[in-house]
Structure 1
């Protein structure tokens, strides 16, 4: 698929800004990030530092004492899953605006994890937040350590940030790709366990209650962390229910397990879903009474969620570690 180059800025008016700075030394990070935060403080904006501890210390030394500076633990903001990070940034914006600041500037350093599977989840996140945070009074400066991050992640950063920042200033990013186009271009990862014999196979779900019990019995025998197993069971329950209610028969389920990981694939023959942003927030915004929370919940409960629409129905693939 050819990625569509965006005009910068594009889309509806937005208060959210999403910039990228690639650095090769702590000194270079400070040279870029400190002026960014200092300018915000001078304008009455809050300055939030969400980077690893050594870099946070260098930034604090460069900025000095100021009541507008907030240092947050990096993993406390980004957490382990993208929907939690989006929720954390919305909450952060609300708190700082309520404290009297006009906007919130954030220098953030995402922990992309050690594997390509984890990188993919955060690549998706970097594209999604252009849409998910578009109305928030936030100005994010994502800082990427070129010495540490793999080429795949660095390339993703160049496709997901509308502006680039360096010691020479801020400029539009010619490599930025419209978020929906970028998300659709990402590959569906191969899941090796799907080539093995499933632990549970249901070819036409007709008894939803019976399916729930059957899944629960299989998961209970795996000996994993009880909280993780319970989270996965709830996510499978939500996605199976969605397939029955909103898809078309037959609804099929496959469950695989290894010594440390579980994969579940739920498919239906409905009209599919061409929304690359689905599940990164409730479908109906803050009105949770209207439902639409199933995929959003699954993304928070599982390590990996893949939405696969190949033109013959919809498949949701869930995966999570047992420990």
Structure 2
């Protein structure tokens, strides 16, 4: 279970806020006053926003140039776990340096190879939005996320309301009536059923012992290369899939089925076991304790760093872990 530090409620300085807007005017009316308030309070306001939002703010905040630091969205929003960890590192570095900062972030969840995000991508990112209410709280800096109802479904916007304790309005941050504590949110969303695996897949392997992982590694490496993955990206795919399969073999002690297929420009790998060992909803969202205690914790944490999306379907008698590797996302930066 996540230990909820309630930083946003205890006056520690950490406030996790969402600006949910449906028009350009709504963005300006709420965000410009917030930026002016922050410019008088913080040493730096990190602006990780899209080109449209930056152009929208031009002429409204030009006098704040000495405080606003504009950064490239693509530099942060690569794989979902990478984005989450990159912002955490930034906050940690600023805290260590004794600087006060405010982060304004506009999640970039679209796969450039397709008009729509890969299945489950926005929902997967919302899990990180929930977890950061705990993991970012010690750094005592506010984080404001921009979400546009013109680009996201009603279900995603509901998730935004549930993962942000504050909603930004022209009058400032207000409590979100739909907010849920991180462990509660993750537990509720953990009960999912994955879409069926395609009938035709590129690889279908049954593993019963660790020695078979070498063959799996070779098959997946060649498959990723054949699908245009550069060496480093292919290696990340292989390391992630083999780590998950290895964990299943070691901890489930039953045969593990590994299937791999291509969905548009996304390579997908799924590992299934029948041991029936439940996976906690919070697994893999925190850097594993090296002293530690929980078996398999490193595997899921590593998977969330190297894959773009990690989906888990864990029911009695069966566990499936599905890994998404979109070509565009895997080759950013």
TM-score normalised to structure 1 length: 0.82
CA deviations over 1:114-135 (Å, ceiling 9, x no partner): 2342222222222222223222
Deviation of 1:18 after TM superposition, in Å, equals 0.8
1:87 to 73, 85, 89: 85
**Counterpart residue number, 1:108:** 105
**Counterpart residue number, 1:158:** 161
**Counterpart residue number, 2:331:** none
**Counterpart residue number, 1:173:** 176
1:252 aligns with 2:250: no
1:272 to 266, 273, 278: 278
1:217 to 202, 219, 224: 219
Structure 1's unaligned 5+ residue stretches are 1-9
CA, structure 1 residues 135+312, in 2 after alignment: closer, same or farther (shift >3 Å)? farther
2:5 to 8, 12, 27: 12
CA deviations over 1:253-275 (Å, ceiling 9, x no partner): 2213247533221425264322x
Aligned residues: 306
**Counterpart residue number, 1:306:** 311
**Counterpart residue number, 1:74:** 73
* Distance (whole Å) between structure 1 residues aligned to residue 270 and residue 296 of structure 2: 23
SS class of match (1:62): coil
CA, structure 1 residues 265+29, in 2 after alignment: closer, same or farther (shift >3 Å)? same
Structure 2's unaligned 5+ residue stretches are 111-115, 329-333
* Distance (whole Å) between structure 1 residues aligned to residue 19 and residue 327 of structure 2: 36
Q: Which has the higher contact order (CA 8 A, sep 6+)?
A: 2
1:262 aligns with 2:268: yes
Deviation of 1:162 after TM superposition, in Å, equals 0.6
CA, structure 1 residues 146+264, in 2 after alignment: closer, same or farther (shift >3 Å)? closer
SS class of match (1:192): coil
CA, structure 1 residues 62+99, in 2 after alignment: closer, same or farther (shift >3 Å)? farther
CA, structure 1 residues 60+158, in 2 after alignment: closer, same or farther (shift >3 Å)? same
Is the Cα contact below 8 Å between 2:104 and 2:146 reproduced in 1? yes
* Distance (whole Å) between structure 2 residues aligned to residue 269 and residue 74 of structure 1: 41
* Distance (whole Å) between structure 2 residues aligned to residue 286 and residue 29 of structure 1: 46
**Counterpart residue number, 2:113:** none
1:193 aligns with 2:197: yes
* Distance (whole Å) between structure 2 residues aligned to residue 48 and residue 154 of structure 1: 23
RMSD across aligned C-alpha pairs, in angstroms?
A: 2.9
